[in-house]
Structure 1
Amino acid sequence: MGAKYCVEEFVCNNASPSTDDRRFSKHIHDNVHGNIYLDPISLKFVDTEQFQRLRDLKQLGFTYMVYPGAVHSRFEHSLGVYWLASEAINRLKTYQGLELDIDRFDIQTVKLAGLLHDVGHGPFSHLFEREFLPRVSNGMKWSHEEMSLKMIDFVVDEHNIDIDSESLKKVKEMIIASENATSNSFKEKRFLYDIVANGRNGIDVDKFDYIVRDSRACGLGCNFQFQRVLETMRVIEDEICYRAKEYLTIHKLFAARADLHRTVYTHAKVKAIDLMFVDAMIKANDVLHISSYIDEPAQYWKLDDTIIKAIETSSSQDLKESRDLVLRIRRRDLYQFCNEFAVPKDKLQCFKNVTPEDIICAQNSSHPTLDKEDIAVINVKIDLTRGRTNPLESISFFKDYESSEKFPIKHDLVSHLLPTSYQDVIVRVYSKKPHLVEAVSSAFENFQVKEYGMKTQVHATPEKKKRKQLRYNSAVGVV
């Protein structure tokens, strides 16, 4: 089961204006942050079918098929980001409220941005927008952030939510702040835009929540302490800065994120399932018209993870191929992982994504002839949020709480044990048909030799796997 939410309404009689508001608030217990309090305006958004849809979107898509505990939803995450955004802005107000002129308007918009930042998110984590839509719409660019903006407008109109246009404008700007980091439209209180989606250096409460929440759900440890970062942040020259002695704490934020990408989000079996379900959705698109839902919020909010059940339980002959792929996923008859290699560091700058066609061109004539439909290739990029550059170079620090100056810190002044390379690119190849695993593996090895002059054996070859299976069969008495 996912995290349980106990909802308890506050009822206060003889209320003053402030306590009267609490009659229309809710108290929620979250399994990561403890008690969360939803204010009246936020509750109006939460209690809509469009926001409640987030309960039916698993935060990590198909990851739960490898890590069984990873069944938490976008709903939980959104409440968590709302609460951390509230914590961040209120701490800044406590320490620097008069200096920064933080008012109730600022607090409310930051909290709403945290709450609504994912309201336009697609099904199956990022699979929908990054892998499915580009293949059925000729590479059209579509982002859940932009859909979130449209969904917010739709929810406000549909439910007659009383919120002024200026607040709404600020909320939407904060949600896409990471995409518009260099924009000059943020004329005042630029630091407010660093809280939910930080385009300047990547430190934001969205990451604080999902790193801790995802680690916990998957049963993994997490040595990043976001509480220390929240406690030490200060605004200097309209930018959120951090105490210099917390450099390594902040480094752990980026390292923990990269580790989750490597061990959870891009796990070889998780990606095999992703590849299969993308193929299933593509084959089903002409029948279910999945891609047509992205045009209007009025239709889009009806799209969620139940797509897999719609395919699986349909009796339509037109969906047979898709249904067969879902059945293979259920029975763990997955696309077979063949091998992978990390692109050499000196080749990263000129690296181009490897395609099935590249592997086919390197196949052996002695093996069965491969077709591009027999092979799946994924190019996994794992970094610290800034590609091949160090994100900590974009962060401003201060010496102590009496300081009024900000400055960068070079990593070699902190420790010589910190990494000097900030991105991995891993090429991973799968065979869609079990009997072609050896042929695909051989072609992939030939490609490595041809392209990079090397052949890696990170994982067992098909021959070694066969020998291992035979030894196991012999040990248990299987003929």
Structure 2
Amino acid sequence: MILFFFFLCCQEMIIASEKDEVKGSKEKKFLYDIVANGRNGIDVDKFDYIVRDSRACGLGCNFEYQRVLETMRVIDDEICYRAKEYLTIHKLFAARADLHRTVYMHAKVKAVELMLVDAMTKANDVLQISSYINEPAQYWKLDDTIVKTIETSTSQDLKESRDLILRIRRRDLYQYCNEYSVPKENLEHFKSVTPQDIVCSQNSADATLNEEDIAVSNVRIDLTRGNNNPLNRISFFEDYDSTRKISICDGAVSHLLPASYEDMIVRVYTKKPDLVEAVSKAFENFQVKTYGVKTQVHETPTKTMKKRLRYHH
């Protein structure tokens, strides 16, 4: 019984702060911001994975979580931070965003993800994967073994899924064509780009593309609170003898900090290497049609395209 209540307390501390703030008349509300802080995003979970993943990927990390831990205190039932550490806390959010851009949302990582999603979707009728969602006793079994199940099956109904897994093993990934960052003025009303958008943008004289030949990844990277500065939700104190919490406005510490707090990156892939050129042209047409200009900043990697074509032929 004691373990049961302990589990409930731990669960509550993890999920209670998923929203903007903890609701209700809980004692010591600041405790609910330690593990999963939905109010301003500063929590030990980020401290852990930012340092861990930066080290594992051989990346540098200029965020020092020790400084944050050593200069925090509770005022009015809220965890507050010394004003002098404003830039240190900003590095927390910047380091997280950098990991998303260079590791978690890397173009090849997303290519593998898209292929796995397709493999699972094609296998769903046979393996009934989606039926496990509402059955906890079955859902917890959905780990990497399902990939091995598909890979080792001899069922003809799983051949398409099996071929996709084999392509991943061979690093024969969906071919990255290009990407662009959505202009700042278009972020607020951005609608996810779909394969249909790309197909509809191909030149009528070169109409060779089908939706099933294209994969699109709409990647949002922010500082945890969309296009809002997460530091505006953080309370500070002036020095250790202070008992009053304060807010720090944008620009009060540095004018070198960003004026915008989110990126939306649209990437397009083709599932067939011989369609790289056609998809790339259609993607450029889509940008011009949508924004009036070609917003991508580099050309499609033609050397890689030619190499991949040689590989397949």
TM-score (norm 1): 0.62
Q: In the aligned structure 1, how far is the partner of 2:296 from the partner of 2:15?
A: 42
Partner of 1:427: 266
Contact 1:437 / 1:462 at 8 angstroms: preserved in 2?
no
Q: Residue 293 in 1 paired to residue 293 in 2?
A: no
Partner of 1:240: 79
Q: In the aligned structure 1, how far is the partner of 2:95 from the partner of 2:229?
A: 15
Q: Residue 358 in 1 paired to residue 191 in 2?
A: no
Cα gap change, 1:383/1:457 in structure 2, threshold over 3 Å: closer, same or farther?
closer
Q: In the aligned structure 2, how far is the partner of 1:190 from the partner of 1:461?
A: 51
Select 1:449's aligned residue among 285, 288, 301: 288
Shift of 1:162: 3.8
Q: Residue 173 in 1 paired to residue 12 in 2?
A: yes
Structure 2 alignment gaps of length 5 or more: none
Contact 1:363 / 1:439 at 8 angstroms: preserved in 2?
yes
Shift of 1:186: 4.5
Partner of 2:56: 217
Q: In the aligned structure 2, how far is the partner of 1:210 from the partner of 1:364?
A: 45
Select 1:342's aligned residue among 181, 192, 213: 181
Residue deviations 1:354-374, cap 9 Å, x none?
111111111112324211111
| Amino acid aligned to 1:306 | T
Q: In the aligned structure 1, how far is the partner of 2:37 from the partner of 2:14?
A: 9
Cα gap change, 1:347/1:331 in structure 2, threshold over 3 Å: closer, same or farther?
same
Residue deviations 1:85-123, cap 9 Å, x none?
xxxxxxxxxxxxxxxxxxxxxxxxxxxxxxxxxxxxxxx
TM-score (norm 2): 0.93
| Amino acid aligned to 2:3 | I
| Amino acid aligned to 2:90 | H
3-state DSSP of counterpart to 2:251:
helix
Contact 1:201 / 1:392 at 8 angstroms: preserved in 2?
yes
| Amino acid aligned to 1:331 | R
Q: In the aligned structure 1, how far is the partner of 2:25 from the partner of 2:118?
A: 42
Partner of 1:305: 144
Q: In the aligned structure 2, how far is the partner of 1:352 from the partner of 1:457?
A: 18
Q: Residue 412 in 1 paired to residue 251 in 2?
A: yes
| Amino acid aligned to 2:250 | H
| Amino acid aligned to 1:290 | I
Residue deviations 1:316-370, cap 9 Å, x none?
1111000000111111111111110001111111111111111111111232421
Residue deviations 1:269-304, cap 9 Å, x none?
110111011100011111122222222322222221
Partner of 1:319: 158
Which fold has the larger relative contact order, with Cα–Cα distance below 8 Å and residues 6 or more apart in sequence?
2
Partner of 1:163: 3
Shift of 1:240: 0.3
Partner of 2:44: 205
Contact 1:194 / 1:204 at 8 angstroms: preserved in 2?
yes
Cα gap change, 1:217/1:170 in structure 2, threshold over 3 Å: closer, same or farther?
same
Contact 1:438 / 1:462 at 8 angstroms: preserved in 2?
no
Partner of 1:268: 107
3-state DSSP of counterpart to 1:312:
helix
Shift of 1:178: 2.9
Q: In the aligned structure 2, how far is the partner of 1:180 from the partner of 1:335?
A: 36
Contact 1:275 / 1:376 at 8 angstroms: preserved in 2?
yes
Aligned-residue sequence identity (percent) comes to 74
3-state DSSP of counterpart to 2:176:
strand
Partner of 1:383: 222
3-state DSSP of counterpart to 1:378:
strand
Relative to structure 2, which stretch is displaced further, 287-296 or 208-217? Answer: 287-296
Residue deviations 1:438-461, cap 9 Å, x none?
111111100000000111343333
Q: In the aligned structure 1, how far is the partner of 2:217 from the partner of 2:305?
A: 25
Contact 2:276 / 2:305 at 8 angstroms: preserved in 1?
no
Residue deviations 1:240-259, cap 9 Å, x none?
00011111110000000000
Contact 1:368 / 1:436 at 8 angstroms: preserved in 2?
no
Cα gap change, 1:388/1:281 in structure 2, threshold over 3 Å: closer, same or farther?
same
Structure 1 alignment gaps of length 5 or more: 1-160, 474-479
3-state DSSP of counterpart to 2:179:
strand
Q: In the aligned structure 1, how far is the partner of 2:74 from the partner of 2:63?
A: 22
Partner of 2:121: 282
Residue deviations 1:59-78, cap 9 Å, x none?
xxxxxxxxxxxxxxxxxxxx
3-state DSSP of counterpart to 2:275:
helix
Contact 2:232 / 2:248 at 8 angstroms: preserved in 1?
yes
Shift of 1:465: 5.3
Matches within 5 A, 1:225-236: 225-236=64-75
Shift of 1:195: 0.2
Contact 2:22 / 2:29 at 8 angstroms: preserved in 1?
no
| Amino acid aligned to 2:280 | S
| Amino acid aligned to 2:200 | C
| Amino acid aligned to 2:24 | S
Residue deviations 1:37-75, cap 9 Å, x none?
xxxxxxxxxxxxxxxxxxxxxxxxxxxxxxxxxxxxxxx
| Amino acid aligned to 2:87 | L
Partner of 1:47: none
Partner of 1:30: none
| Amino acid aligned to 1:322 | S
Q: In the aligned structure 2, how far is the partner of 1:284 from the partner of 1:359?
A: 26
Shift of 1:463: 5.0
Shift of 1:169: 3.5
Partner of 1:145: none
| Amino acid aligned to 2:177 | C
Shift of 1:310: 1.2
